[in-house]
Protein backbone atom coordinates (compact mmCIF):
# COMPACT_ATOMS: atom_id res chain seq x y z
CA UNK A 1 0.00 0.00 0.00
CA UNK A 2 2.86 2.38 0.69
CA UNK A 3 4.23 1.62 -2.80
CA UNK A 4 1.00 2.82 -4.38
CA UNK A 5 1.27 6.12 -2.55
CA UNK A 6 4.83 6.57 -3.76
CA UNK A 7 3.82 5.97 -7.36
CA UNK A 8 0.96 8.46 -7.32
CA UNK A 9 2.81 11.10 -5.33
CA UNK A 10 4.90 12.53 -8.15
CA UNK A 11 5.54 16.07 -9.27
CA UNK A 12 2.42 18.03 -10.07
CA UNK A 13 2.01 18.43 -13.83
CA UNK A 14 -0.03 21.13 -15.45
CA UNK A 15 -2.54 19.79 -17.96
CA UNK A 16 -3.64 23.18 -19.23
CA UNK A 17 -4.26 23.25 -22.94
CA UNK A 18 -3.31 26.92 -23.43
CA UNK A 19 -1.01 29.27 -21.57
CA UNK A 20 -1.03 33.05 -21.19
CA UNK A 21 0.63 33.60 -24.57
CA UNK A 22 -2.05 31.61 -26.38
CA UNK A 23 -4.82 33.66 -24.77
CA UNK A 24 -3.01 36.88 -25.63
CA UNK A 25 -2.82 35.88 -29.30
CA UNK A 26 -6.49 34.87 -29.22
CA UNK A 27 -7.47 38.30 -27.91
CA UNK A 28 -5.35 39.99 -30.59
CA UNK A 29 -7.06 37.84 -33.25
CA UNK A 30 -10.50 38.72 -31.89
CA UNK A 31 -9.58 42.40 -31.96
CA UNK A 32 -8.45 42.18 -35.60
CA UNK A 33 -11.65 40.29 -36.50
CA UNK A 34 -13.82 42.88 -34.73
CA UNK A 35 -12.01 45.72 -36.51
CA UNK A 36 -12.52 44.00 -39.88
CA UNK A 37 -16.25 43.49 -39.30
CA UNK A 38 -16.59 47.06 -38.02
CA UNK A 39 -14.94 48.46 -41.16
CA UNK A 40 -17.14 46.29 -43.37
CA UNK A 41 -20.36 47.52 -41.75
CA UNK A 42 -22.27 50.55 -42.89
CA UNK A 43 -23.21 51.94 -46.26
CA UNK A 44 -26.78 52.66 -45.25
CA UNK A 45 -28.41 55.57 -47.00
CA UNK A 46 -30.96 57.89 -45.41
CA UNK A 47 -33.16 57.46 -48.51
CA UNK A 48 -33.69 53.79 -49.48
CA UNK A 49 -34.38 54.78 -53.12
CA UNK A 50 -30.93 56.32 -53.54
CA UNK A 51 -27.93 54.07 -54.24
CA UNK A 52 -24.51 55.51 -53.43
CA UNK A 53 -21.95 53.28 -55.15
CA UNK A 54 -18.97 55.17 -53.68
CA UNK A 55 -20.15 54.44 -50.16
CA UNK A 56 -20.99 50.77 -50.71
CA UNK A 57 -18.03 49.87 -52.93
CA UNK A 58 -15.34 51.78 -51.06
CA UNK A 59 -11.82 50.39 -50.82
CA UNK A 60 -12.20 49.99 -47.09
CA UNK A 61 -15.27 47.74 -47.35
CA UNK A 62 -14.20 45.77 -50.40
CA UNK A 63 -10.46 45.28 -49.82
CA UNK A 64 -9.16 46.25 -46.38
CA UNK A 65 -11.94 44.81 -44.20
CA UNK A 66 -11.90 41.30 -45.77
CA UNK A 67 -8.10 41.22 -45.52
CA UNK A 68 -8.33 42.07 -41.81
CA UNK A 69 -10.93 39.35 -41.26
CA UNK A 70 -8.74 36.74 -42.98
CA UNK A 71 -5.73 37.95 -40.96
CA UNK A 72 -7.81 37.64 -37.78
CA UNK A 73 -8.70 34.04 -38.57
CA UNK A 74 -5.05 33.25 -39.34
CA UNK A 75 -4.04 34.76 -35.98
CA UNK A 76 -6.69 32.64 -34.24
CA UNK A 77 -5.40 29.46 -35.93
CA UNK A 78 -1.86 30.39 -34.91
CA UNK A 79 -2.99 31.00 -31.32
CA UNK A 80 -4.67 27.60 -31.13
CA UNK A 81 -1.79 25.68 -32.73
CA UNK A 82 1.01 27.44 -30.85
CA UNK A 83 2.73 25.13 -28.38
CA UNK A 84 3.07 26.41 -24.85
CA UNK A 85 6.61 26.77 -23.52
CA UNK A 86 5.93 24.48 -20.55
CA UNK A 87 5.21 21.44 -22.78
End-to-end, the C-alpha distance of the chain in Å comes to: 32
- In angstroms, the CA 28 to CA 4 distance is 46
- Residue pLDDT, tens place only, 9-60: 555 566 778 889 999 999 999 999 999 999 999 877 788 888 888 888 889 9
Q: Is the dihedral of CA 75, 80, 86, 87 positive or negative?
A: negative
pLDDT grade, residue 62 (50/70/90)? very high
- In angstroms, the CA 9 to CA 11 distance is 7
3-state secondary structure of 25: helix
Query: Alpha helices, DSSP H only, in 1-87?
Result: 2-8, 20-40, 53-56, 59, 65-81
Amino acid sequence: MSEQKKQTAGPATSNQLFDKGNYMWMLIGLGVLALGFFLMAGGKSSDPKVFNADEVYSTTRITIAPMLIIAGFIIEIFAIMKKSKSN
